[in-house]
Structure 1
């Protein structure tokens, strides 16, 4: 269930209440006249089944409430109410399958912003992966994949393409390109420092690497895994199954490929650098393609359900 807290101009309260009342899956409606001070208006509270939430939020935005008042949405961890159970039963579909487009846009907007923290995480992940590729250590590679924050901007690109949000697309692409460029440049410096300290050697990079050699040898499996990971990651963001995102992070070789490219570039090995960059771009392309197709499919399916989410 979702809890909605609305600040409504007094002359729009009746219309907002009617919109809530005619939406299947709503309950616990309460109106507190004149309770809001900034902006001034009435405070309207209600709960709505997650699967009916996107339709209700869209209708409220169509009334201009996001501009004239306020719409705040919270997930309800526990609701002990027969009315809530009935609302969830009445709403079509399953809560885990529902997509809250405004919530997705808000989340991807935050995750796809180029910031010091984002670049720091991506750089640290790339440096950890650099240690992994030189030592041929799969544990370090998996750890670096889990630390990397690059799926946020990738999801931002997918969302922007489906929702036609050019600003979000530009912001996400800038975060991806600048973030990876900065992380790889700093990792080149890091690898040279490690070489000067005797911890990295060119012989290790060029030696037999059965656990990590795949990061600079892209093939069709790289593309297929990227497609699967992109679909799984998108589903985890749009549903209640967000825990799956960790598994997605450690199934694609974006960060390890960037790390291998940086270390190889530091040693002047253009062959491995080229192969690693190709692996990186192939994974990014596959994730964006699969993520976009997944969102389009979800949008079409829920658009067909929408007319049924109305009371007579």
Structure 2
């Protein structure tokens, strides 16, 4: 279930209440006339089944509430109510299959912002991965994958394509490209420093690395894993099962590939640099293609399911 808290201008409250009452899957409607002060107006609250949420949010936006009032949405972790159970049963479809496009767009917009925090996390993850590739340490590689925040912009690109949102696409691509460029540039400097203090060496990089050698040797398995991870990551976002994102993060070698490319570049090893760069681009492409296809399929299936429901 979702909880909606609305601030509505007094002249629109009647339309909002009628809309909520006429939407299957809503319950616990509360109207507080004149309770809002900034902006001034009435407060309307209700609970709505997740599978009915996207349609209701779209109609509320059609009433221009985001311009003259506000729309706030929260997930309800626990609701002990027979009315809530009945509302969920009456709503068409299954909550796990429903996509809240407004929430997804807002979430990916926030996660794909090129901020200092985003750059810091991506850079730190790349430097951790650099230690992992030089030491041939799989644990450090997995840790770097989990720290990397790059799935946010990747999901933003997928959402922007499906929703035809060019501004979100530009923001996401900027965060993705600039983020990796900065992270790799800093990691080149980090690698040179580590070499200067005798903690990194070219011999370590070019030695046999059974645990991390795959990072600069892309093949079809790399693309297959990226496609599967992209689909799983997209499903975890749309179904609110964010815990699955950790598994997605450690499934693809985006950050480790960037790290290996940076370290190899610091030593002038162009073979590993190009191989790692190919691995990085292949993974990014696979995730974007799979994520976009997953979202498009979800959108189509949900539309068909709603049409088939009387």
TM-score when scaled to structure 2? 0.98
Aligned residue runs from structure 1 range 1-312, under 5 A: 1-307=1-307
- C-alpha contact (below 8 Å) 2:223/2:282 kept by paired residues: yes
Shift of the alpha carbon at 1:64? 1.4
Q: CA deviation at 1:40?
A: 1.4
Offset, 1:214: 0.5
CA distance in 2, matches of 1:48, 1:236: 21
Find runs of 4+ consecutive structure 1 residues off by over 4 angstroms.
Answer: 307-310
Residues 135 and 204 in structure 2, CA contact (< 8 A), matched pair in contact too: yes
Aligned-partner Cα distance in 1 for 2:140–2:248:
16
CA positional deviation for 1:219 = 0.6
User: Cα deviation per residue 1:263-304 (whole Å; 9 max; x = unaligned)?
Assistant: 000000011000000000000000000000000011111222
Task: Find the aligned partners of 1:259 and 1:176 in 2 and give their Cα distance.
Answer: 15
Q: Aligned with 1:168: secondary structure? A: helix
Q: CA deviation at 1:308?
A: 6.7
User: What residue ranges of structure 2 are gaps of 5+ in the alignment?
Assistant: none
- Partner SS, residue 45 of structure 1: strand
**Separation in structure 2 between the aligned mates of residue 299 and residue 24 of structure 1, nearest angstrom:** 20
Q: Distance in 2 between matches of 1:176 and 1:158?
A: 13
**Residue range with higher mean Cα deviation, 115-124 or 297-306:** 297-306
Task: Return the offset for 1:38.
Answer: 1.4
Deviation at 1:5, TM superposition (A): 0.4
Give the distance between the partners of 1:80 and 1:308, measured in 2 at CA: 30
Structure 1 residue 10 displacement after superposition: 1.1
**CA RMSD of superposed structures (Å):** 1.1
Is the Cα–Cα contact under 8 Å of residues 93 and 306 in structure 2 kept in the other structure? Answer: no
How far does residue 307 in structure 1 lie from its aligned partner after superposition? 4.8
Name the CA distance, whole Å, in 2 between partners of 1:168 and 1:209.
39
